[in-house]
Structure 1
């Protein structure tokens, strides 16, 4: 479980705009993808079928995002009040639009809404079969794309939204997103040096290491553990093992703490 988890309020300023989505299941899947990543604004431009039981079933526990979706009749209406609009497309068009990849898009989106408390941005996605038209891209500031296999670049629309939403979440500065949960704080240099000193002494205590004959041994140990990028909890575990080993052979480890 992630402790003290909170979402960056800037995520609430990002609109996901879907243009003429034909399958209601995709709308539900997109609502779920949005809630997974902390996005909440969903705008539907002339959806073929909405509301829909299929959409509700696919949304799972993201019914709030789905039920709060705004339905409009034109892309112009969907983009009202938006400072920047990013048109998502797998096709890099012959006409030269300013282009960003998905990571650059997320970074610019978060930067934009962070600079102005009233600013909002939109990520615009087109039809499942044909995407956005050139006229619709004309309403966007940037063409945004997901780098992929050039011989098979088309993604399901809900998968594409998931990738963009994920990059938006990762572009936030909320520490709980980046360093809590499954990832822990990396050990400091002082903590690592304490561990290496403890390891050096413990290996002598159990008569594994003869310093006079193993001058390169600790250098190899440093290389091994430095590659592992030990975190604070892992250092504590390893030093606990060393202390238990020292106690087993009747050696106090108080000088190694």
Structure 2
């Protein structure tokens, strides 16, 4: 179960925080670390701060973009700052741990995403997350060290795993026999769908690329909470393709029709 959960650190600036995060992960039984464009890695300081968890640093995957880090994932939980202009599903660390273990226990790939030390995740990065995780720290001193935030969520994941050991969560049992048990779409497949959707909406005149407002953000939120399966994704992509064909056919007829005198 735990091997299906990856910790993703985005654009980390201080190597000590990478080492501290690795140590926090190993304390709680997590082993998969993905680093998105780290500013200083590998580093002796990261190894020193890992304090015995250097094996996690040695096997860490380093990628250039968040999209690469999320390939294969069907559940993405993002921490840190969030887009306040558009409401998004928000959960606490305990719910995060339960949800992550439930999906991982069913064989899904799960990502816990942490942002930059100085600014967290951008709004665009947060929109790639299915849920935002808020750690309810004291408002008078709410900023958490990156490694500390990793420790909090890793702990909740482990507690949920210990609770589920020997008995799968009820939510997983219910999913096994339902239509939603079909293989869910991965984040990279969803990104291809969003690109197809955006292009189709522009083509039929529903979306103005010069003034998009929050249309695609709202559609991302809609489909993000719908747990779209691969079968359902094929249906949606097919609908978009046929819509484009119809729109192009109509445009051709109008273009080729003789002008009225």
Provide the rounded CA distance (Å) in 2 between the counterparts of 1:142 and 1:175. Answer: 22
> Which structure has the greater CA radius of gyration?
1
* 1:134 maps to which of 123, 141, 164: 123
Matched, 1:68 2:59: yes
Contact 1:45 1:73 in 2 (8 A): yes
DSSP-derived class of the 1:143 partner: strand
Q: 1:72 to 1:133 in 2, by over 3 A?
A: same
Question: Which protein has the bigger helix share?
Answer: 2
Provide the rounded CA distance (Å) in 2 between the counterparts of 1:91 and 1:111. Answer: 24
* 2:8 maps to which of 14, 17, 25: 17
Unaligned residue ranges in structure 1 (runs of 5+): 1-9, 177-257
| TM, length-normalised to structure 1 | 0.62
Contact 1:90 1:154 in 2 (8 A): no
User: By how many angstroms is 1:52 displaced?
Assistant: 0.3
**Following superposition, which runs of at least 4 residues in structure 1 exceed 4 angstroms of deviation?**
none
Q: 1:67 to 1:94 in 2, by over 3 A?
A: same
User: By how many angstroms is 1:153 displaced?
Assistant: 1.3
Deviations 1:53-98 (A, max 9, x none): 0001111110111110000000000000001000102557342010
Instruction: Name the structure 2 match of 1:179.
Output: none
The number of residue pairs the alignment matches comes to 165
User: By how many angstroms is 1:175 displaced?
Assistant: 8.6
Provide the rounded CA distance (Å) in 1 between the counterparts of 2:117 and 2:143. Answer: 10
